[in-house]
A = this chain, B = another copy of it.
Amino acid sequence: MKEIKVTLSDRDIPKRWYNLAADLPTPLQPPLGPDGKPISPDMLEKVFPMNLIEQEVSTERWIDIPEEVLELLYRWRPAPLKRAVYLEQYLKTPAHIYYKDESLSPAGSHKPNTAVAQAWYNKQFGIKKLTTETGAGQWGSAIAFASQLLGLECKVFMVRISFDQKPFRKIMMRVWGANCVASPSHETRAGREVLKKDPRTPGSLGIAISEAIEEAVMDPSGKTRYCLGSVLNHVMLHQTIIGLEAQKQLKMAGIKNPDIVIGCAGGGSNFAGISFPFVCEKIHGAKIKIIPVEPTACPTLTRGPFSYDFGDVARMTPLLPMHTLGHSFIPEPIHAGGLRYHGMAPLVSQGVIEGLLEPQAIDQVKCYEAALLWARTEGAICAPETSHAIACTIEEAVKAREEGKQKNILFCYSGHGLMDLSGYEKFLNGELKDSSLPESLLQEAIAAIRHHPQPKLQKTGNW
């Protein structure tokens, strides 16, 4: 029998999260306030509960996972590490392709890993209601799920284009008791302003974030907080359970470190989850190629400058040091809604600056080709976001064939595509086109960013 799965026993689930901030060669630059000065943790306390703010600024290498959070995670974790032997055979590659299957969670992606942790910390802090934004709906579903488990009220602002393209995600959130509205909405000042300018806007994660923050900080009871499914340090932290499990499982398969680690990157959370424990190995001398993959429609890491920028359109967030296309940039409505974010997690961005990561951008047509090959060899239907990681994996596996080298490739299978089948239909009908960001729009976006304060860092990026 072929070995195609490495199952971690329940008692071997990692008990601590890994914090890359402890190991980065250059310390992370602080978030800045509207005055251009570093903000202090208490300036965020109307937005996030203090226990999560402490995690956000922590430089401890290991942070214990509370027992009750482990119990929540334990509902669907540890996730299996699988080997894509059928894809390998099809590609006639000597590479071994391993992937962490994060699609098996109740919400169908890696997002619940941080959703249950965030909901738990908020509840510990006495919070009654969470607000958030969602792109493709993966994060919105995950936080609806987590809020339901912990008895919290939940309101989700869903980017309009996804709200329309993915009608069933809304029902999922409703099944889990959440209130899901299309963004921009008329329910916030930020939403109304955008709608006034462009009533037919497809929306963006940046706008939806503005609305969700506004809804949280304006609650007079003070019992509402905002939560974010990506970008921030504590979100990256919670997701490292993916890579920590994978490390244990690869060792069980006799592999000390993979040669290549791949994850798709929108805000950076599943990429951080699978890769950060290996980035740590790389910092300490291991030779690993680590690739965040983004869409050519939103090439934040490959083309965006590393700069201080707002996380949202309405400039309600602090300025974060990150690769960005500008907080007012609205990407094409590609099907991988979760990758349509103008910025990138500061930890991932700095990993690029430090030369630890080698980002790539791939167009959605090529990604759907990869997704179809995956479905027809491995059997499962992946999320459009995940297809970016698969497309890159296929490229690397083909390269290994051409080089005649047996390489071990690890990627994050971040979610299933069962809620996103309309994209497959368009692809099968030949209706999808190259969605790469035109050079003129890119230059326009970059020009707008040049006026922001610049992080004081040694940069090696290629933009």
Contacts and interface: CB of A to CB of B under 8 A. Distances in A.
20 contacts: A1-B67, A1-B71, A7-B7, A7-B9, A7-B10, A75-B379, A86-B149, A108-B418, A148-B375, A148-B379, A168-B422, A171-B428, A172-B381, A172-B418, A172-B421, A174-B425, A175-B376, A175-B424, A176-B376, A418-B418
Residue of A4, A9, A74, A171 with highest tally of chain B CB at under 10 A: A171
A442 interface: no
A4 B424 CA distance: 36
Contacts of A455: none
A74 B425 CA distance: 29
Contact of A174 (B149, B378, B428): B428
A326 B419 CA distance: 37
A20 interface: no
A7 B10 CA distance: 9
B175 A428 contact: yes
A104 B104 CA distance: 7
Contacts of A123: none
A424 B171 contact: yes
Contact of A419 (B74, B75, B418): B418
Chain A binding site: helix, strand, loop or mixed by DSSP?
A: helix
A362 to B, nearest CB: 20
Contacts of A74: 1-2, 4-5
Interface string A396-422: 000000000000000000000011011
Interface string A136-166: 0000000001001100000000000000000
Nearest to A103: B104
Given A7-B10, A149-B379, A176-B376, A422 B171 contact: yes
A373 to B, nearest CB: 11
Given A175-B428, A176-B375, A168 B4 contact: no
A372 B175 contact: yes
A177 interface: yes
B108 A175 contact: no
Contacts of A428: 171, 174-175
Contacts of A422: 168, 171
A448 interface: no
A216 B4 CA distance: 35
Interface of A: 1-2, 4-5, 7, 9-10, 67, 70-71, 74-75, 86, 104, 106, 108, 145, 148-149, 168, 171-172, 174-177, 372, 375-376, 378-381, 418-419, 421-422, 424-425, 428
Given A74-B1, A376-B177, A425 B106 contact: no
Contacts of A381: 106, 172, 175
Contacts of A86: 149
A380 B171 CA distance: 13
A414 B70 CA distance: 27
Contacts of A376: 148, 175-177
Given A172-B381, A174-B425, A376-B176, A71 B5 contact: no
Given A108-B418, A171-B422, A174-B424, 11 more contacts: A7-B7, A7-B10, A75-B378, A75-B379, A106-B381, A145-B379, A171-B421, A172-B381, A172-B421, A175-B381, A175-B421
A70 B428 CA distance: 32
A418 B379 CA distance: 17
A283 to B, nearest CB: 32
B168 A421 contact: yes
Contacts of A421: 168, 171-172, 175
A378 B105 CA distance: 12
A287 to B, nearest CB: 31
Contacts of A4: 74-75
A442 to B, nearest CB: 33
